[in-house]
Amino acid sequence: MKKVLLLGSTGSIGINTLNVIRNFPEEFEITALTVNTRIDLLEPQINEFNPDTVVVKNEKSGSELRKKIANKCRVLTGEDGLIEAASSLEYDIFVGAMVGFSGLAPALEAIKRGKIIALANKETLVVAGELVTRMCKKYGAKLIPIDSEHSAIYQCLEGEKNNCVEKIILTASGGPFLNKKKSALGTVTVEEALSHPNWKMGNKITIDSASMMNKGLEIIEAHWLFDIEKDKIEVVIHPQSIIHSMVQFVDGSIKAQLGLPDMKLPIQYALTYPNRLTNNFKRINLPKIGNLTFFSPDMEKFECLKLAYKVLNEGGTAPCVLNAANEIAVDKFLKGKIKFSSIPQLINEALDKIENHKSPDVETIFECDKKTRELVLGLS
């Protein structure tokens, strides 16, 4: 029985993680669940999975939950609660399903304890990839990706030698604006940007998919996860989202991992690795799908993709600036304060104005994140 600490249990990845665990009651036990504010969704999860501890990041919501659930479990609150859970509770697998920079600090605590890190939180590796990978080696922690693309690559590399990889091919759906002209992106609505053709995700990740920043973050993440140079990471548009990514080897062979656009599959792989357990998930019907198509992304239209390659080349705290600026810009767009096309503009401005620190420590990363957010909050 593996004990699981699940950060972000009410988000799309968290809910799917619980769906997987629900199918294997003899394999997994929930030690703790964490949320930001959605205690309305957390309550039934507490009743079903009986965690010892829950963490509510929002202090007010946490106080409200304490009154509601009486003595069913311990309730921690705030950033300190997240860190306490990661650093002191008994668990085997840390599932990082929180969205955004706030997932970094608890992940570092889990790494220090040498845990299995099932990682869906892109920002952990984007803003602190050098630090995280170094700490994993030091403390013996194991990173297993949950992102469908990185899970696909992880599976394709199983049993292969690192020096045999010629390149990694990250597939991308292209999002809802794949066929729109760049000139039309300035007038798209929030509703249009949230209408992803294949995946059902949280708002922030869906907007990132529309801007292709999601793929940009994945490029940076792949660099650190698989210790591969940026010029060996290629992005290919694949609108059907059936091939989740590929690896090309030095002999010209390509391995691909295929599956329906369903996050339960990569989540299960991360939780059960190195084993594969039988499930009742829907299977692919290849004749029904018919055709799989591929083409190169428009780097001029999807400026965020170009920015990701730029900051990966610059290194240091540049990826941290990119991520923080993007989080604030996306939030502004969702609230109707800026145009969709302004997202890369704000990120570019932040990259120009925030100093890049090479080989940053934890304190420098957190300070850089804070400065960037303050700067972009003041931009329009």
Query: Residues 88, 42: one domain?
Result: yes
Query: Residues 203, 338: one domain?
Result: no
pLDDT at position 44: 95
Q: Is 89 in contact with 115 (CB distance < 8 Å)? A: no
What are the mean pLDDT values of the chain's consecutive 10-residue runs (380 residues total)? 96 95 96 95 95 95 89 92 97 93 93 97 92 96 96 96 93 92 93 84 88 95 95 96 97 97 96 96 94 95 95 95 96 96 97 95 94 94
Asked if residue 376 is part of any domain, the answer here is yes
Q: Where are the alpha helices (DSSP H) in 113-157?
A: 122-139, 148-157
Asked if residue 278 is part of any domain, the answer here is no
Token couple for 337: 């304060």
Cα torsion angle, 63, 202, 128, 319, sign:
negative
Asked if residue 265 is part of any domain, the answer here is no
HSE-CB at 216 with a 13 A cutoff on CA atoms is 30
Token couple for 88: 């002191």
- Give the structural domain span for 172: 150-181+190-260+283-300
The DSSP code for 277 is -
Query: Residues 132, 92: one domain?
Result: yes
Cα Dmax for the chain = 62
Query: Residues 61, 44: one domain?
Result: yes
Chain mean position to CA 323: 12
What CATH number corresponds to the domain at position 363?
1.10.1740.10
Asked if residue 274 is part of any domain, the answer here is no
Asked if residue 275 is part of any domain, the answer here is no
Query: Residues 157, 294: one domain?
Result: yes
pLDDT at position 339: 96
The average confidence (pLDDT) of the chain is 94
Asked if residue 305 is part of any domain, the answer here is no
Asked if residue 270 is part of any domain, the answer here is no
Question: Nearest-CA neighbor of 124 among 114, 116, 132?
Answer: 132
Phi, psi of 54 (to 5 degrees): -130, 150
Query: Residues 15, 121: one domain?
Result: yes
Beta strands in 195-284 (DSSP E): 233-237, 243-249, 254-258
Cα torsion angle, 18, 93, 367, 220, sign:
negative
Token couple for 44: 């039934």
Query: Residues 11, 38: one domain?
Result: yes
d(CA 26, CA 22): 9
> Residue 119 belongs to what H/E stretch?
strand 116-119
For residue 100, how many other CB atoms are within 10 A of its CB?
A: 19
The amino acid present at 22, given as its one-letter code, is: R
Give the residue from 270, 300, 330 where a domain finishes. Answer: 300
Token couple for 218: 């994945």
Cα torsion angle, 363, 10, 95, 227, sign:
negative
> Tokens 């989080």 label which residue?
327
What CATH number corresponds to the domain at position 139?
3.40.50.720
Q: How many domains, in total, are found in the chain? A: 3
> Tokens 């991308």 label which residue?
172
Query: Residues 195, 97: one domain?
Result: no
Give the residue from 273, 300, 327 where a domain finishes. Answer: 300
pLDDT at position 123: 86
In tens, the pLDDT along 35-53 reads 999 999 999 999 999 999 9
Query: Residues 206, 160: one domain?
Result: yes
Asked if residue 208 is part of any domain, the answer here is yes
Token couple for 10: 């009410």
What is the pTM for the complete model shown? 0.92
Chain mean position to CA 325: 16
Question: Nearest-CA neighbor of 322 among 296, 292, 343, 300?
Answer: 343
Give the residue from 300, 331, 355 where a domain finishes. Answer: 300
In tens, the pLDDT along 205-227 reads 899 999 999 999 999 999 999 99
Query: Residues 323, 371: one domain?
Result: yes
The torsion of the CA quartet 213, 101, 274, 18, rounded to 10 degrees, works out to -100
d(CA 123, CA 136): 16
pLDDT at position 257: 98
pLDDT at position 101: 86
Query: Residues 328, 291: one domain?
Result: no
Q: Which residues contact 227 (CB under 8 A, 6 or more apart)?
A: 133, 162
Query: Residues 171, 86: one domain?
Result: no
